[in-house]
């Protein structure tokens, strides 16, 4: 690897100390560093990434890495995360290990994990992609919503709930986990559906094949008043969703490549991250 794209969450790297440290070390090793054009200080401007980029180093937390992944996935650039957040399930490198991690990266002592992503489409409009999850939740008010779940065209169940999470294995340790869903090994291929604060006896998550098509329809209440909800893709790109609308979710063709330097197992990483939580 010779050309590195550096993406920084500057609210976490105040004063650019970590960014400058990484840039300086890479340049001492004879490597080239480039920075993307950012819109509103955080969103990568499409088309601003050099075609010959070998790797992106993302400095921040899991949220920073997820935002970057949704652009970089179309460029085919693998990502190495430097953790300036809290838990850091996705960010591989801790600050104290930066130089050793760069040495390992340059020497080729790494693997790239391909992480499954999801596409979601509403009303036949533009598709949006997600690495962690697609979430449908109520928009204003405290009313319970009714969600009809279809799989491969067949009706399965209706949830009375505050919302519903459709997650990848990578996203199983995010909102899904907070909502009581199971943790799934992140390189697996499957789709996980978890209701948020379900008001029925069917509170549990359901795991589907990655090749299944999952459809969420917002149902009508008895008073026939239209409900309004909102769809988020990895916590962004909010899309309005109302009674009668259908959200169609499938596995994306694209995958996010995450650079892994450690030789520890997922279970060991999980055990370390969950200490005291």
Per residue in 232-242, pLDDT (tens digit) is: 999 988 899 99
- In tens, the pLDDT along 230-269 reads 999 999 888 999 999 999 999 999 999 999 987 666 667 6
The residues carrying an active-site annotation are 62
Cross-strand partners of 248? 121, 215
Tell whether 137 and 244 lie within a shared domain.
yes
Among residues 209, 273, 276, the alpha carbon closest in space to that of 61 is found at 273
- In tens, the pLDDT along 5-29 reads 999 998 899 889 999 999 999 999 9
Tell whether 93 and 165 lie within a shared domain.
no
Tell whether 266 and 249 lie within a shared domain.
no
Tell whether 65 and 130 lie within a shared domain.
no
The SS3 call for residue 251 is strand
Extended strands (E) in the chain: 3-8, 32-34, 38-39, 43-44, 55-60, 79-83, 93-94, 111-122, 128-130, 133-138, 145-151, 154-161, 163-167, 190-196, 206-209, 214-218, 228-233, 236-242, 246-260
Tell whether 106 and 121 lie within a shared domain.
no
End-to-end CA distance of the chain: give it in Å, rounded: 37
Tell whether 134 and 96 lie within a shared domain.
no
CB atoms within 10 A of CB 101: 21
Tell whether 97 and 224 lie within a shared domain.
no
Domain count, the chain: 2
Global pTM value: 0.90
- In tens, the pLDDT along 60-74 reads 999 999 999 998 999
Domain range spanning residue 60?
3-110+261-273
């Amino acid at each position: 690897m010779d050309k590195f794209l550096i993406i920084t969450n500057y609210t976490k790297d105040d004063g650019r100390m970590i960014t400058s440290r990484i840039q300086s070390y890479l340049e001492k090793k004879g490597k080239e560093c480039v920075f993307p054009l950012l819109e509103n200080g955080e969103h990568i401007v499409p088309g601003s990434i050099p075609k010959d980029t070998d790797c992106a180093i993302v400095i921040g937390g899991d949220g920073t890495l997820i935002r970057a992944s949704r652009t970089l996935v179309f460029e085919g650039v693998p990502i190495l995360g430097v953790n300036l957040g809290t838990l850091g399930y996705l960010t591989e490198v801790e600050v104290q290990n930066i130089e050793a991690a760069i040495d390992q990266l340059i020497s080729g002592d790494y693997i790239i994990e391909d992480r499954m992503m999801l596409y979601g489409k509403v009303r036949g409009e533009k598709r949006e992609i997600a690495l962690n999850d697609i979430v449908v939740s109520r928009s204003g008010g405290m009313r319970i919503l009714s969600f009809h779940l279809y799989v491969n065209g067949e009706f399965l169940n209706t949830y009375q709930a505050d919302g519903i999470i459709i997650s990848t294995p990578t996203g199983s340790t995010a909102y899904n986990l907070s909502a009581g869903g199971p943790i799934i090994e992140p390189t697996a291929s499957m789709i996980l559906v978890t209701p948020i604060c379900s008001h029925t006896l069917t509170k549990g998550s359901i795991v589907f094949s990655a090749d299944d098509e999952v459809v969420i329809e917002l149902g009508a209440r008895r008073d026939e008043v239209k409900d309004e909800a909102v769809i988020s893709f990895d916590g962004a790109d909010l899309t309005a969703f109302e009674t009668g609308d259908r959200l169609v979710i499938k596995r994306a063709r694209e995958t996010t490549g995450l650079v892994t330097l450690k030789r520890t197992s997922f279970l060991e990483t999980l055990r370390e991250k969950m200490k005291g939580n």
